[in-house]
Amino acid sequence: MPTVVSILNQKGGSGKSTLATNLARAYDLEGYAAQILDGDSQRTVTEWAKLAGEDMPTVTPTTAPTIRDDVEAATSSVVFVDGAPAHDTLNVRAMKLSDLVLIPVRASGPDIWSSEDLLDSIQTRREKTGGTPRAAFVVCQQIARTNLASEIGDVLGTYALPTLDGRTNHRVAYAEALSSGTTVLDLPGAKKAEEEIQRIAEQSLELLRRTDE
């Protein structure tokens, strides 16, 4: 079965689809064939794929009843799951299939509070399995040099899961890439956004390679 990286947060607008498309492409460029399972009822990533070129990761819609079969049918080495904006059956099943769960949060209280049910489920699962899935927060869409951006790390530090050092900032490039079937790694003039995604990809791969848990 492929390595599964699920991007989950029950709050809509947290940046799941942006993270899924860009990270899948980053993994591709690092030599890890990647594809995306779109579990969000809004099907943002599915619409993105309709515009995407041949070099972009393929996308398959998925649902709670089919997600295990969809993962097992994948021909890539890594599958990214873009989860639902709810703590529902699909997200729980995705979490149980995952090697790594990334939880995108914006620098705001509601984004963090909305993930607490998911955090409880992850912790329960990790206790049963001896540490699987690994999981981490990813700060997304931060507005640089604001109090919220500087304080979010301290707030997330009160939770049991780590927070990746890599963050995405609020940049037009992300919206432009998502709406045009590409990624910031392929968009001309998006160097800063590209570096952000590459850092997140690098750190998530480090988590997947760890053998100390």
Average pLDDT over the chain, rounded to an integer: 91
Confidence of residue 148 (pLDDT cuts 50, 70, 90): low
* φ/ψ of residue 147, rounded to 5: -60, -40
Q: What is the pLDDT of residues 61-98, one digit of tens each?
A: 999 999 999 999 999 999 999 999 888 999 999 999 99
What pLDDT does residue 152 have? Answer: 76
| Distance separating alpha carbons of residues 41 and 124, to the nearest angstrom | 26
Examine the pLDDT at 121 and tell me if it is beyond 60: yes
Examine the pLDDT at 149 and tell me if it is beyond 70: no
| Distance separating alpha carbons of residues 180 and 114, to the nearest angstrom | 29
Examine the pLDDT at 213 and tell me if it is beyond 50: no
What pLDDT does residue 146 have? Answer: 65
In this prediction, residues 132-144 reach a mean pLDDT of 91
More confident residue, 156 or 131: 131
Confidence of residue 212 (pLDDT cuts 50, 70, 90): very low
Structure-token pair, residue 205: 């791969």
Is the Cβ–Cβ distance between 181 and 52 less than 8 Å? yes
Structure-token pair, residue 178: 């998502």
Q: What is the pLDDT of residues 99-119, one digit of tens each?
A: 999 999 987 666 677 788 889
